[in-house]
């Protein structure tokens, strides 16, 4: 019974030692734990009252004598790309993968794969792959081509065919009705423009798949072969039509001037003018002269008014006058006056020739009378001590009877 009990204690001690990281079996030492109980690089622990010696972590040997250090005990003691083999860290890929295979070790686990362009079992052997293997047999429909791109089959219709390449492709067209209305079905079974049948320089309109060829405006020739301009320079045109306008010989005067206007060519430049007995805008319309035309444009001076009239011979002539409130030479300049009515002047002034002037100026009263300006008019009155007609004459008063001369007002 004692031996069985000791065996159970040893097993328990062994399990505890392995849990702590020892490599070999721990050994029971005599006595208790002291500095010299266990060997070099060993540690001592008490278990059920007994001293148990075990090697330190990453060490192996006899814990009662000597434990020596090792590189590893478990994979985690090594770098991620290595594993622990016989207490040494070695490449995890060593001898694992097949011929020509790639190996990638992560977290101490090797992964084998065939490189690009190779196929096979990476744990046995990899061989060069057929680049078109994915298209053999072709997964595409009829009238298609199969291409391998990144090991994936890609289907497409053959040139001149259309449709679903996975189901099958057909020619782009069999007849014009298979094409858009502006295209036609060519001999190569393709929808193309029918305008290629038109000549050089021709215009082309497509109606119901058919080309309608025509020469452009001012061009001549056969639209099915070639269209060319009537002219490119003036020297190619006759005298009657001396100008090359928009690739066509023409007379520049045609349509250049207005109604009833004359047109004269100076070189190839049209010059428009109204006839001598007419007036107006020669680029729009010319008409016979009318009386009011004498004043269009106004031939008079600045601020002057023009009125149709006649001269001494009876011929129609414009008459120039200064308007009301203006004065001056109507042929040169009319200037605005100081006034137009007496009310615009002081009480002792009158509006004469559009200026505020003394109304007595130039007025003739009798020699014995005097003139005074009152309310814009000239008033003649006899002097004190005289009486009579202030315009004709005033006489001295000889009697004591007072009298007053008559008043006359004149402007």
Distance of alpha carbon 367 from alpha carbon 355, whole angstroms: 28
Which CATH entry fits the domain spanning 291-337: 2.60.40, 1.20.1280, 2.10.25, 2.40.50?
A: 2.10.25
pTM of this prediction?
Answer: 0.31
* Cβ partners under 8 Å of residue 230, min gap 6: 218, 219, 220, 236, 244, 247, 248, 249
Task: Over range 273-295, report the average pLDDT.
Answer: 89
pLDDT tens, position by position, 70-116: 888 888 888 988 998 888 899 999 989 999 999 999 999 999 999 88
Backbone angles phi, psi at 216, to 5 degrees: -65, 165
pLDDT tens, position by position, 183-202: 999 988 888 999 999 999 99
Nearest to 209 by CA among 225, 186, 187, 227: 186
What residue segments make up the domains of the chain, in order of their start? 2-69, 230-289, 291-337, 348-410
Distance of alpha carbon 278 from alpha carbon 389, whole angstroms: 65
- Above pLDDT 90, what percent of the chain? 41
Beta strands 118-121 and 125-128 are antiparallel
CB 295 within 8 A of CB 307: yes
Burial track 249-283 (b if 16+ CB lie within 10 A, e otherwise): bbbbbeebbeeebebeeeeeebebebeeebebebe
Using CB atoms within 10 A of its CB, is residue 247 exposed (0-12), middle (13-18) or buried (19+)?
middle
pLDDT at 238 exceeding the cut of 70: yes
> Rounded to an integer, what is the distance from CA 24 to the centroid of its chain?
84
Structural Rg of the chain based on CA atoms: 66
């Amino acid at each position: 019974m004692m031996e069985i009990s000791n065996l159970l204690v040893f097993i328990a001690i062994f399990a505890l030692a392995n849990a702590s990281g020892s490599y070999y079996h721990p050994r029971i030492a005599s006595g208790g734990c002291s500095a010299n109980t266990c060997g070099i690089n060993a540690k001592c622990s008490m278990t059920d009252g007994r001293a148990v010696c075990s090697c330190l972590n990453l060490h192996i040997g006899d814990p009662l004598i000597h434990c020596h250090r090792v590189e590893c005990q478990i994979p985690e003691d090594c770098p991620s790309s290595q594993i622990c083999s016989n207490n040494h860290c070695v490449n995890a890929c060593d001898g694992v993968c097949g011929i020509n295979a790639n190996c990638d070790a992560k977290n101490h686990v090797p992964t084998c794969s065939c490189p690009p362009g190779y196929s096979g079992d990476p744990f046995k052997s990899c061989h060069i792959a057929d680049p078109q293997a994915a298209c053999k047999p072709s997964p595409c429909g009829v009238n298609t081509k199969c291409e391998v791109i990144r090991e994936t089959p890609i289907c497409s219709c053959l040139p001149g065919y259309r449709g679903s390449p996975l189901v099958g492709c057909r020619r782009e067209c069999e007849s014009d009705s298979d094409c858009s209305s502006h295209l036609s079905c060519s001999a190569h079974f393709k929808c193309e423009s029918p305008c290629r049948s038109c000549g050089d320089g021709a215009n082309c309109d497509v109606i119901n798949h058919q080309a309608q060829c025509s020469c452009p405006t001012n061009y001549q020739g056969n639209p099915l072969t070639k269209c060319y301009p009537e002219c490119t320079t003036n020297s190619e045109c006759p005298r009657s039509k001396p100008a090359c306008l928009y690739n066509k010989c023409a007379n520049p005067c045609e349509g250049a001037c207005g109604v009833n206007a004359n047109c004269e060519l100076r070189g190839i430049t049209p010059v428009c003018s109204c006839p001598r007995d007419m007036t107006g805008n020669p680029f729009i319309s010319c008409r016979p002269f009318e009386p009011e035309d004498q004043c269009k444009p106004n031939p008079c001076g600045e601020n002057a008014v023009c009125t149709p009239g006649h001269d001494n011979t009876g011929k129609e002539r414009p008459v120039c006058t200064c308007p009301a409130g203006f004065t001056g030479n109507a042929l040169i300049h009319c200037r605005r006056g100081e006034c137009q009515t007496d009310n615009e002047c002081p009480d002792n002034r009158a509006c004469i020739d559009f200026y505020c002037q003394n109304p007595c100026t130039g007025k003739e009263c009798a020699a014995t009378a005097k003139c005074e300006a009152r309310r814009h008019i000239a008033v003649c009155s006899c002097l004190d001590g005289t009486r009579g007609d202030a315009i004709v004459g005033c006489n001295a008063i000889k009697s004591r009877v007072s009298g007053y001369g008559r008043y006359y007002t004149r402007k």
